[in-house]
Amino acid sequence: MSTWLVTGGAGYIGAHIVRAFVAQGLDVVVVDDLSSGHASFVPDGVPFVRTTILDTDALTAAMREHSVAGVVHLAGFKYAGVSVQRPLHTYEQNVAGTASVLAAMAEAGVGSLVFSSSAAVYGTPDVAQVTEATPTTPESPYGESKLIGEWLLRDQARATADADAPLRHTSLRYFNVVGSGDESVVDTSPHNLFPLALDAVAAGRTPKVFGDDYDTPDGSCVRDYVHVADVAAAHVAAARALEAGRTLEPAYNLGSGDGVSVKQIMAAVAEVTGVDFTPEIAPRRPGDPARIVASGELAARDLDWQMRHDLTQMVASDWAARRHLT
């Protein structure tokens, strides 16, 4: 049985992906530097290699030691707003890091890669619903770094077309991943909306809405919010497809097709927690587009992508996990 290596597998999304692999009887090994992940998120029995993805030799050794057949690459710096203040760090982690992963794969003879990209590659699209054909015009170093990552995959696939282990790949573009599929794993990001809102409510503080003067129905940003367990399932489906030799698209949107606003999220938080509040309106954050809503039709066709959780279930699962861990 082949083994898949998950970079960033001790993080919130990565840990759910690892669990999804394990649940389907697939062997997996985790690589993470714990800069934002947690060793406790790695399930018992799953090999864990603590190293940065910038260490190509360590990655190569891990791939060889565990007879890795494919990589799910999530490790990176993911905060769009903060990337505006830290562009060099963002490019180092996301561009140089991805190049290092690809170099290690080539050295170890590993040919399959599922890349965690982002809907941030689209910037602020001028269409009601983003498709994979929508022009990519990122507006933050984070979005730019993810798009460059996709280019690296494309170019490496061309360069290795005649190699013993030609690179076969796909990129999954998604934006706000929320909820919990396992009460032992929760989003601990200091920047994401769900942790900020739910932690504020739990502490008796008022959650914030960053900007209410956007060109959207209620003035707050509109996004795709997708449940982490659904996102994890799509990564496993992509890995299985590559392993089976199926031809996949270069990129897939994991989108809801409609999206919800930040203020709608706040209303759901109040409903689930039972805490009635009026959110504080804070200034806009740099790098935040007004609206990004993506079609998931291609992913539904090829990766069994489905929105299996509604907004209330997303909030409720996150709230339950937070209460469990405290």
Topology of domain 178-224+256-294+303-325 in CATH is: UDP-galactose 4-epimerase; domain 1 (3.90.25)
Query: What local confidence, expressed as pLDDT, does residue 290 receive?
Result: 86
Residues of the chain with CATH 3.40.50.720: 3-176+226-253
Class of domain 3-176+226-253: alpha beta
pLDDT of amino acid 277: 95
pLDDT at site 1:
63
Task: Encode 78-135 in three state secondary structure.
Answer: CCHHHHHHCHHHHHHHHHHHHHHHHHHHHHHCCCEEEEECCHHHHCCCCCCCECCCCC
Q: Is the pTM of this model over 0.85?
A: yes
pLDDT at residue 112, rounded to an integer: 98
Q: Considering only CA atoms, which of 57, 2, 56 is closest in space to residue 29? A: 2
| pLDDT of the residue at 288 | 78
Sheet with 291-292: list strands edge to edge: 260-261, 222-223, 291-292
Question: Active-site residue 142, yes or no?
Answer: yes
Distance CA 117, CA 11 (A): 15
The segment(s) of the chain belonging to CATH 3.90.25.10 are 178-224+256-294+303-325
Catalytic residue among 12, 91, 122, 142: 142
Distances (CA, A) of 189 to 35, 197, 211: 11, 12, 20
Sequential pLDDT tens for the chain (326 residues): 689 999 999 999 999 999 999 999 999 999 999 999 999 999 999 999 999 999 999 999 999 999 999 999 999 998 888 999 999 999 999 999 999 999 999 999 999 999 999 999 998 888 879 999 999 999 999 999 999 999 999 999 999 999 988 999 999 999 889 999 999 999 988 888 899 999 999 999 999 999 999 999 999 999 899 999 999 999 999 999 999 999 999 999 999 998 999 999 999 999 999 999 999 999 998 877 788 899 999 999 999 999 999 999 999 999 999 988 76
